[in-house]
Structure 1
């Protein structure tokens, strides 16, 4: 196992009716900005619950954070924070709203050009406005980590940042808030969580037995519950487990003491930036092809994945690995998530621009071995045709 430090200050308030706990979680004197997405929180009544829990606190709303939160929109929220002297933020929504809130929290107290937060990986961030979240869409794990990904539409750039000041102080997780989600969003959430886990698991062995078994259990839970998560929309136990798996997939625990990949995400970001494909669907396009291209370097962990997650024990090592990769692709497709360029009306002619974007954003040495260069990235993209 590799050396590591693990720290996670986010309080989780989990269960039906827990939105009411906001009254105890947010300071009574706080002036709150509620950040929202496209209106679902209002339609489903979640926003009314939030307002009731806030009681006599002064609060404002900021609506319209996109599924891939944009710098342009978020800077409008930053101006509201500054002008209205907001001292607490509350994200009500999924990972995009939470990611956007993290950027607003950091940018509102940033001395320089806020885009530099993304360009420098938050190198010069020293403080952030405190915030909490009410999660309505399990997927990204942003409710319990310090990472965020922001898109700047004007230059077709999608970049991540991480900083310890943007851990949520708390996150409210009520599984009933997922009941009204569209099937597409639920499927995306399953894929997103699945790939988050594999990015920390499918690398190379470092004898981290606890992390491996934990990751494998989370993957098996998604595979076993996947069809029910989609079809049994108001099964509290199923949605509870889905919500908690998505959080555990990226709260830092399974990634402690092990190598990480994240190449699937970095390549996928360019597909979103250029073609506005849902984040999770870009991951479904890239991951099976990446595993195929890098199967020699990932040989040992892919064999483990085949046996422990997919229960594949027959055939040669090469055959077991191939079957595990194909089962992964088939699992995504069983959820209605396409895994090929053609599923999104793309073809080989779109690959050069994607590779050029990777180069422009410095994504020239990706993966756990930093050996996915531009040529390898092109091979991965070609494998997804």
Structure 2
């Protein structure tokens, strides 16, 4: 196992009614004027917004609002938030929503402390700047999936071609996150299950790595995957099943908390995210849906082109799906089939065609997926390999 340093600076307030700590906790972190950021306004319909304002009032906090942050958040919303924060003398950011709002607010938190354009702060930008200071940030999670409430990264959509850019730094871990499973009761079924697919992919992309002696990480990971598989259908059956919602919410947070399941492993790759972002860029497709569409095809491609890693896929099949096949190749294929059946059970599209993707777009998406270099960890993915995976998923 490789050396590692592990730190999660975010405090999680998990459970019913935890919003009661909001106002005073912001004050304890030095906040007095808050940039309150949210998406399309569902928090005004489900009562969260009013509760937040009550908390602000009791703590004597002033606030300004940034509303309308889009799914697959645009850099323009980030720039608007930076301007609002500066022009109104804010000293704290509260992100309320799912991963899109949280990711946008991480970029805002970095951008308000940087004199140049926020684009300079994205990973891999030519002449990119280093993040050295950020505004204090807290989150209230209303949709489980991205894990942004307990990690240091975010994804922002930039430019006319809707390219996905990553912002990442340990300073971008939220100071605290309020995780109340009841706040996810009203999330539409489609988006709840897309979040499930996102969680599962985060877990799998940390699991399918070159085999090292990181047994604790992998066995913990398997346990979280099994919980996701067991409890997602319970939410479909009863959207207000508190325990199922709680388990899925905590799985979302734990999947990327300090990237704990990659500790001691050799790389930080996430090739499925690299490909999936191109589907979101081209079609504004929900992020988790892109991952559900691509994962089985990527697994089969990797199993075929890098057969030395078949034992990892077979172990996944046996330990997560309880496959009892002794032959590794057969066990691994059974695992893929079980995963596809799960995606079908949670009502994900069966293939790219069903999701509305046009075959003539596959080549361009494959090119864009690797424009910053090859993807992959178990097997390298250049343009040709990505195109093979897209065609297999089509």
User: Is 1:258 aligned with 2:235?
Assistant: no
Give the Cα separation in 2 of the matches to 1:358 and 1:224.
33
Q: In the TM superposition, what whole-angstrom CA distance separates every residue of 1:112-167 from its partner, at most 9, and x where no partner exists?
A: 22112125367511111101000010101000000000001423211112101111
Give the Cα separation in 1 of the matches to 2:346 and 2:193.
6
CA RMSD between the two structures: 1.5
Which TM-score applies when normalising by structure 1? 0.96
Report the Cα offset of residue 89 of structure 1. Answer: 0.2
Write the mapping of 1:190-339 to structure 2, written as runs, cut at 5 A: 190-251=196-257, 252-259=259-266, 260-295=268-303, 296-314=307-325, 316-339=327-350
Which TM-score applies when normalising by structure 2? 0.94
- Runs of 4 or more, structure 1, over 4 Å off, are none
Q: In the TM superposition, what whole-angstrom CA distance separates every residue of 1:197-230 from its partner, at most 9, and x where no partner exists?
A: 0000012211111101110000100111121022
Aligned residues: 383
Please say if residues 153 and 273 of structure 1, whose CA atoms lie closer than 8 Å, have aligned partners that are also in contact. no
User: Is 1:354 aligned with 2:362?
Assistant: no
Q: Secondary structure of the residue that 1:154 maps to in structure 2?
A: coil
Give the Cα separation in 1 of the matches to 2:244 and 2:370.
42
Please say if residues 98 and 143 of structure 2, whose CA atoms lie closer than 8 Å, have aligned partners that are also in contact. yes
Which moved further from structure 2: 302-311 or 317-326?
317-326
Q: In the TM superposition, what whole-angstrom CA distance separates every residue of 1:321-380 from its partner, at most 9, and x where no partner exists?
A: 1110111122112111114111122243111110221243x0x32122572122211111
User: Is 1:137 aligned with 2:146?
Assistant: no
Q: Secondary structure of the residue that 1:159 maps to in structure 2?
A: strand
Give the equivalent residue in structure 1 for 2:48: 46
Gaps of 5+ in 1: none
Please say if residues 229 and 242 of structure 1, whose CA atoms lie closer than 8 Å, have aligned partners that are also in contact. no
User: Is 1:181 aligned with 2:187?
Assistant: yes
Give the Cα separation in 1 of the matches to 2:2 and 2:47.
46
Q: Would the alpha carbon gap of residues 87 and 38 (structure 1) be closer, same or farther in structure 2, given more than 3 Å must change?
A: same
1:146 to 145, 152, 162: 152
Which moved further from structure 2: 345-354 or 187-196?
345-354
2:92 to 83, 88, 91: 88
Q: In the TM superposition, what whole-angstrom CA distance separates every residue of 1:266-300 from its partner, at most 9, and x where no partner exists?
A: 10001100111110111111111111100125312
Give the Cα separation in 2 of the matches to 1:61 and 1:355.
39
Give the equivalent residue in structure 2 for 1:343: 354
Give the Cα separation in 2 of the matches to 1:18 and 1:339.
38
Gaps of 5+ in 2: none
